[in-house]
């Protein structure tokens, strides 16, 4: 039996670590839930293009030859041949080229795609792909703080998150058998919220522990590697890393031309030598050279992790296996890092794990939101016992911050998704506008919450979330009904799924807005979630009323 004073100590630790990192974790978990369907979102946001189907796989070798002849730089950078035909793959073949820059200086890349015209000649076009999904992932990883400070900040947050998890379990242990899975619905709203908070936290504890550990490792991986290199290995770690990189780099070109095997033949050779590997793309390096190679990127059945940085490499001339960096062939250190990456991103177990992580991400966001609300409610009851006339300033500020940050994140992400279609072709840099829109909505919501207080602003911002989220499927409907708007509506199951989930989410936000409005009008007058006390005193000071 744990002593009461020890439980009280850990309760304090759990409360303050949770309060300290709760808002950042809400953003990370909500955006992280969306990244579980990063590819469907990218497909939804990508405009129609030539498409992979425009060039059959049997004609892909002809297309590759024309691309290399017209764009020699693509031979070195690598030409990607897409195998699946998703909407975010503008054509059968894509590649990147260096943007204009001074020698040795950092530079960007420009993106190209190519297809065959009906007469068999080459059609190539420079076009920047939508980076909406990548932007949402950046919000998830760094909550909008630039690198490297965003990673360091989230590393500290992840450490506090782990401490809060452990402390919370210690607090719950003495009453675990009695309170676990107990959801006491009634007039005591604080008890009901606490029960729900405990149920969600305990049932998802393994998931949260994995998130805390992997996020910490991810955030501090770079600094820890540098520290080890300086203090422990004395430069030897770089040699090992260089050897590791060689496992997925193509052989150097010889300068001698040779005949390439067709993509179809190379796929047959891959399946014959590595039957459990499922490729998504083929990346050709030094096409046309005697040392040309093709790297297959995909996943190995039965193993955790995606081989984005490895995969299987064959000779593009003979089809022989020259490099194998599948999960089953990786060294323990590389396997460990791949596993950490995959456990965090859910890249294993197929669609079942994807949906599980999606719902666990949303439940995690709710966990941090409810934790802040429980702290606010506890302070209200303490103020009542002390016969205080109004809530402490700290309570009102945290209530406003919770509403503004959490709902601002939700509304900002929904509206920046909608902007992918509405602003396409109307602005010079759509990818930059995704950031402008998100931050404008996010910061505006925070300012609104502090100006109007938690009670009023919660209702306003929940309706904003509902309107922003319902705009996602409405945009698709408008694109179908009014083609002159210049928008598009893809018909794949993945893109329709984005609209369906957004529609359900909008209904949930509308329901929460109605319930919150009822709480604001009829809840306890001494709560920051009520405006009754403020309305009794004055009707001409909206900021003061909202803060009551």
pLDDT at 545: 30
Tokens matching residue 141: 């990883």
Residue 547 has pLDDT above 70, yes or no: no
* Sign of the torsion angle spanned by Cα atoms 353, 356, 360, 362: positive
pLDDT at 329: 81
Residue 199 has pLDDT above 70, yes or no: yes
Question: Average pLDDT in the 207-220 region?
Answer: 92
Rounded to two decimals, the pTM is: 0.89
Pick the range with the lowest mean pLDDT from 60-64, 218-222, 537-541: 537-541
Residue 442 has pLDDT above 80, yes or no: yes
Task: Render pLDDT for 168-189 as a digit per residue (tens, 0 to 9).
Answer: 888 887 776 666 656 666 566 6
- Of 277, 260, 269, nearest to 311 (Cα)? 277
pLDDT at 309: 60
Average pLDDT over all residues of the chain: 86
* Every domain of the chain and the residues it spans: 1-47+130-245+349-385, 48-129, 246-345, 389-548
CA distance 466 to 410: 9
All residues at 6 or more sequence positions from 160 whose CB lies less than 8 Å from its CB, including other chains: 17, 20, 21
Residue 525 has pLDDT above 80, yes or no: no
- Of 412, 398, 394, nearest to 368 (Cα)? 398
Residue 106 has pLDDT above 60, yes or no: no
| Residue 314 phi, psi (nearest 5) | -115, 155
pLDDT at 346: 87
For the chain, give the percent of residues with pLDDT over 70.
87
- Where helices occur in 71-186 by DSSP H, the ranges are 73-77, 132-142, 149-172, 176-179
């Amino acid at each position: 039996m744990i002593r009461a004073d020890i439980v009280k100590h850990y309760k304090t630790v759990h409360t303050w670590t949770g309060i300290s990192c709760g808002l950042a974790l809400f953003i990370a978990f909500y955006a992280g839930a969306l990244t579980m369907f990063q590819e469907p979102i990218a497909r939804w946001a990508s405009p129609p293009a030539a498409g992979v189907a425009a060039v059959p796989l049997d004609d892909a070798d002809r297309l590759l030859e024309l691309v290399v002849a017209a764009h020699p730089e693509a031979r070195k950078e690598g030409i990607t041949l897409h195998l699946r035909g998703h909407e975010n793959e503008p054509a059968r073949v894509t590649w990147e080229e260096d943007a204009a820059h001074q020698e040795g200086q950092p530079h960007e890349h420009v993106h190209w795609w190519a297809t065959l015209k009906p007469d068999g000649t080459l059609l190539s076009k420079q076009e920047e792909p939508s980076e909406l999904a990548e932007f949402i992932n950046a919000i998830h990883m760094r909550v909008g703080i630039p690198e490297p400070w965003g990673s360091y900040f989230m590393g500290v947050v992840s450490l506090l998150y782990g401490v809060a998890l452990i402390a919370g379990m210690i607090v719950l242990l003495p009453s675990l058998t009695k309170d676990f899975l107990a959801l006491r619905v009634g007039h005591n709203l604080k008890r009901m919220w606490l029960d729900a908070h405990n149920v969600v936290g305990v049932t998802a504890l393994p998931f949260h522990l994995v998130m805390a550990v992997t996020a910490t490792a991810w955030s501090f991986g770079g600094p820890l590697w540098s520290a080890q290199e300086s203090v422990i290995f004395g430069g030897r770690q770089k040699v090992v890393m260089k050897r590791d990189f060689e496992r997925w780099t193509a052989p150097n070109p010889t300068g001698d031309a040779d005949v390439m095997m067709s993509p179809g033949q190379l796929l047959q050779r891959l399946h014959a030598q590595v039957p459990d590997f499922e490729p998504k793309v083929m990346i050709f390096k030094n096409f046309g050279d005697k040392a040309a190679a093709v790297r297959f990127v995909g996943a190995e059945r039965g193993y955790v992790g995606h081989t984005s940085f490895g995969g299987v490499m064959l000779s593009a001339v003979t089809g022989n296996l020259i490099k194998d960096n599948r999960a089953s062939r990786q060294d323990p250190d590389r396997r460990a890092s791949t596993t950490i990456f995959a456990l965090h991103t859910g890249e294993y177990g197929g669609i079942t794990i994807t949906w599980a992580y999606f719902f666990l991400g949303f439940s995690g966001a709710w966990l941090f939101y409810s934790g802040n609300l429980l702290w606010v409610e506890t302070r209200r009851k303490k103020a009542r016992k002390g016969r205080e006339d109004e809530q402490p300033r700290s309570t009102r500020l945290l209530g406003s911050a919770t509403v503004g940050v959490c709902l601002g994140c939700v509304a900002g992400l929904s509206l920046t998704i909608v902007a992918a279609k509405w602003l396409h072709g109307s602005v010079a840099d759509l990818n930059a506008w995704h950031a402008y829109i998100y931050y404008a909505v996010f910061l505006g919501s925070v300012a609104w919450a502090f100006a109007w207080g938690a009670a009023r602003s919660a209702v306003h911002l929940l309706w904003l979330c509902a309107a922003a989220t319902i705009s996602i499927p409405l945009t698709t409907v408008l694109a179908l009904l009014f083609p002159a708007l210049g928008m598009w509506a893809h018909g794949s199951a993945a893109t329709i799924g984005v609209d369906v989930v957004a529609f359900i989410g909008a209904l949930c936000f509308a329901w929460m807005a109605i319930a919150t409005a009822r709480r604001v009008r009829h809840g306890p007058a001494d709560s920051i979630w009520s405006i009754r006390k403020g309305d009794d005193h004055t009707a001409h000071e909206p900021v003061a009323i909202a803060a009551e």
